[in-house]
Every structure is written in structure tokens, then in C-alpha cells.
Amino acid sequence: MHDSRSNAVNKYHFLLLGAALLTPLAPLLATPATAPAKAETPAAARKPNILIIVADDLGYSDIGAFGGEIATPNLDALAARGLKLTGFHAAPTCSPTRSMLLSGTDNHLAGLGNMAELTAPNQRGQRGYEGYLPADIVTLADRLHDLDYATLMAGKWHLGVRAEDSPARHGFDQSFDLAQGGGNHYGVDISKKPGDLGTTHWENGKQLAALPANFYSSDTYASKLIEFLDKADKAKPFFAYLTFTAPHWPLQAPDEDIARYKGKYDAGFEVLRDQRLARQKALGLIPQSVVAHDVVFAKGAKRWADLSPEERRAQSRAMEVYAAMVDRMDQNVGHVIAHLKATGQYDNTIILFTADNGAEGLDVARAEIPGLSQRVKAADNRVENYGRPTSYIGYGPGWAQAATAPSWLYKGYTTEGGTRVAAFINWPGGRNGVSGVYGTVMDVVPTLVEAAGGQWRGSSYAGRTVQPVRGLSWTPYLTGATERVHAADEQVGSELFGRRAIRQGDWKAVDLGNGWRLFNLADDPGETRDLAKAEPKRLAALTAAWDGYGKQVGVILPSIPPTYP
């Protein structure tokens, strides 16, 4: 059904000679975690192209550049050329992160105070819990479109399912998107008409009754983006937003990709965790002295040694499929990068890669997510069928914590394991190497709007009142003018599912529903030593600051206990 790796790469390398060559990006950044090299600035430098790539539920150490064993040569090459961001943070789950990334403000102000699918009874109908971007939000696409950019999007949207919520209504000239948070990667669950159960796909604001032939999510999203790049006005710079659903459950991948990982995970998730931690230390991503947080085994979960041979076989196979999904995603990143190089656009393109949250620790087979249990029960989940279009599996907390180590927990939590994500920025002329400075997805809008020559400050836009941007631009840091993005005394709060956190410099307070804990992340990035009793005044100041944050952004703590993960 699908091309092999070599044939798939060739698929996108034709009919590209007619594109105009672009002037290389002027060094917007002057000196690099290695300072940028000095370069001559053209008299009439062209605005930079912008490409944002988002991976869905990717673990922190899944790609090679961040310590993984999965084959990701294309992402690794981009990371090596740019600046690896080891202190970059998202929200604990996908749609809140996407609302922050595109708006530059807090998810509670951008309509995603909770995931729409999991809104608590007392949050329904309340401001900030709409489940879509409200009218007072200006997206990055809106801002760049108004700066005369061609704006293109392919992949997961997850910011509303109505026609008026589609990317076409939020600044994108061309778009092909999955409206929901996830679905069958082969598209067999597509809705045929509005109102049907299942996944909804839109192209340029029109719902699709059928998907392209040989649909596989990562392949189709990349090829659609390339198609949109070819159609875009070549007189304009572009903003491209490529949002994969890989490696979000259900874990599904082509057989030829899965076959490359056969037997590679038979030693189990604890062994993989140790191997990845060692590679992160060797790559300089974490200190040699770091203490990793213990693996947390929820009720019903087992250590590898306690699994039966049949359970080990199933777990190993699930991880093989997961690795194949990441591998296939990387292949498709390679297709897009090859297209940019062949059309002369690569050197003038800022590339930001990020995951949308920590690794997924949900036990899909036992989850209490609306609609999920029905899909699992209806699937053919024999181990020999794992990864195929008729299967519906996840990989669970053991593999997730191999990926988030040394951090605590995984997706759904306001701990570092839920919010610290693999990210890098490939910005021509900018810093390169490894940077541990704190950053947030809210910083994306101000950074990229500034790079495009626009203004992002203020509470009015195009004559209307809007939510102001709460993030900060990375430009002063990337140019070497400053050594951090957020001031040491700045307080950044967060909340999801009633789980709370607040960050100030290296200090972080976390409440998962059983009391506040305090950590110094500079000394303890794994959040292993609770300093609440040793630093009561600091904890009191931080919890008071969280209360102020909660009032400011309109947090409504849920009336029911969290069911995720």
C-alpha cells in the first residue's frame, strides 16, 4: 500500500526546477548556547519563511538528537543545525498546547481551559472552556497572513470541530486538517457527513466525505503540505504548520516500518529507560549527576519482570509499532525538507520542531475516555495484528516513563514529565548547540511575529479588543543580547484537570490533588526531592502567586476527579 523508505523519498523530488531561488535569510540573530556567526546582511533581505512541525504525544527522548534509538535522521540533522531546547514546556495535553502555541496566551484565555472531550460539569458553557478559539483570539496565522505571508496548514487541528472553527477561519490560506484530537491513522473512521460519529477532515474549510487514496496520516499530511507549498504565491514568504498525529494512539504503522524494529524492545521498558538516560548524558542534554525520578506504577500496571511471556510479547510489539510511527514521521519530515532544498527555500526558513506534551502513559485498553472503550472493543487487537488499520492500541506507562526520564510522570500531569518536551529551533544565523533556558509554547507567537517584522504587543488588533500575548520573544536571547528569555523572578502558572503548577526561575511548585510540593529544578530536574517543609516561605509565596494566576486567567477547578490518564 505504501512506498518503501527509498522510494518514498524519491516520490517528492520531481517538477521542482521552476521555483524561484530565495535570498538566504538575513542573520536576524547576531552572536551563540554557541553564539551565531556574523554574516553580511543583504540590503533588501527577504522575510524569512517559517515552518512549525508538531509531533503528537512524542516522548522527550524518542528522537536520536534527544537520546533515542529510533531512526530519525532528518529530525536529528535539523536539531544538529539548530538549537536544542531542553527547557521548553507545553501544556500537559494536546489541545491546550495548540491553543497556546497559536495564540501566544494561556489556554484558559484561549478557550481550552480543559480538553473539550473532558470538560467537567461545572466548566461547561463557561468562558475559557469553549473547546474552540473564541472571537478575542488572534492566531499566529492571522498575524502572519496580515504581514503578507502565504499561510499553510496540514495535520491535526483539535481546536474545534464546527465549520467556523476550521483553520480556514483562523488565518490559513490553504489547509487540510483532522478536526479531532486523534483517529485511525488509515482514515477508516472518517465521518461521511456533518453530525456523524467518527473523525472529521476538512480541506480549505470544506468537510471531506472521503480521504485521498492510500491515506496514512503522516504520509498524507506531509504530501498535502508540499502540495500547498507548490500552490502558494511565490512572491510571498510562507508560514507552514505541519502537525502530525503520530505517534498518538491508536498505534498504527506500515508493516515495512514495523519490521525494522522487530525484537529491539524485548529487554523491556526499564532497560530502555536506562539506555536513553545514558545517551542523554553522553549528548550533554542532562548533567552526569542527574537523579531520575522513580518509575510510577499505577494500579494494575506491572514491572517488566512481573509480566508473563505473552504480556511481554504484546508490550514489545506495541513499542515496535510506536517506534515505526516515529520513524515514518521522520521520513515525511525528510520529504518536506527535501522539497524546501530543491526549491531553494530551505536556507531562508526558520524551522521550529516541538512535541505537544509529554509521552502518553494512558492505558488505552482500560481508559475511561468517552468513545475510546467502544473503539478498543471493536478492534482486532490480537498481537499479530498490532499496528494494522483494524487494531486500536496504546503502549502504556512503562514505555512512556522510559521516554520522559529523568522527569516525573507523563502526559496529563503538570510535572516535568507531562510538560517538558523535545524541541529545537533551526534559525539561520542563530545560536546552536544545547540550551536549557526556560521557555513555553506561548513564546512562539511573539518570537515568530517579531522575526517576520510584525508587532505582537497590546490588547487590540485590527480595531478590536483581543487577548494580549503572554509569552515573550526569544529574539534577544537568540541574538546573544540576553542569557535568558524569562526573568528569574517571573511567575508562570499552569493547570489542567485540577492539577496545578507554578514556575519561578528554577523553582517549581506542583499540586496533583494531594497537596503542594516544591522543587528546585536546577539541582533536581527529576523532581525527586520535595522541599516544601524546608522552604515554607518560598512555597507560600508560590502558591499565593498561583492563586493570583488562577483568578487572572479564569481557572475553574473541575468538579469531578480527573480521569486522564
| Residues designated as active site | 94, 158
Q: Which of 52, 4, 547 is nearest to 336 (CA)?
A: 52
What burial class does residue 437 get, using C-beta atoms within 10 Å of its C-beta: 0-12 exposed, 13-18 middle, 19+ buried? Answer: middle
417, 408 in Cβ contact below 8 A? yes
* H or E segment to which residue 499 belongs: strand 499-504
* H or E segment to which residue 354 belongs: strand 349-355
Q: Which of 524, 33, 531 is nearest to 287 (CA)?
A: 524
- Bridge partners of 515? none
- Bridge partners of 203? 176, 206
Q: In this structure, what DSSP letter does residue 49 have?
A: E
Peptide bond preceding 48 in cis form (omega within 30 of 0): no
What burial class does residue 457 get, using C-beta atoms within 10 Å of its C-beta: 0-12 exposed, 13-18 middle, 19+ buried? Answer: exposed
Angstrom distances, CA of residue 514 to CA of 76, 97, 362, 500, 535: 39, 24, 20, 11, 18
* H or E segment to which residue 177 belongs: strand 174-178
Give the phi and the psi of residue 177 in degrees, each rounded to 5: -140, 150
Alpha helices in 187-308 (DSSP H): 217-231, 255-259, 269-282
**C-alpha cell, 446:** 511573539
What is the distance between the alpha carbons of residues 228 and 394, in angstroms, rounded to a whole number? Answer: 32
What is the distance between the alpha carbons of residues 145 and 171, in angstroms, rounded to a whole number? Answer: 6
Residue 433, phi-psi category: left (phi > 0), alpha (psi -120 to 50), beta (remainder): left
Question: Hey, what amino acid is at 76?
Answer: D
Question: Hey, what amino acid is at 228?
Answer: F
Question: Hey, what amino acid is at 371?
Answer: G
Question: Hey, what amino acid is at 320?
Answer: E
Angstrom distances, CA of residue 504 to CA of 210, 408, 418, 429, 527: 49, 18, 18, 30, 15
String of DSSP letters for 437-467: --EEGGGHHHHHHHHTT----SSEETTEE-P
- DSSP H helix total and E strand total for the chain: 14, 18
What is the distance between the alpha carbons of residues 190 and 178, in angstroms, rounded to a whole number? Answer: 10
What is the distance between the alpha carbons of residues 185 and 7, in angstroms, rounded to a whole number? Answer: 21
**C-alpha cell, 323:** 517506534
What is the distance between the alpha carbons of residues 414 and 519, in angstroms, rounded to a whole number? Answer: 13
Task: Report the chain's terminal Cα–Cα distance, integer Å.
Answer: 34
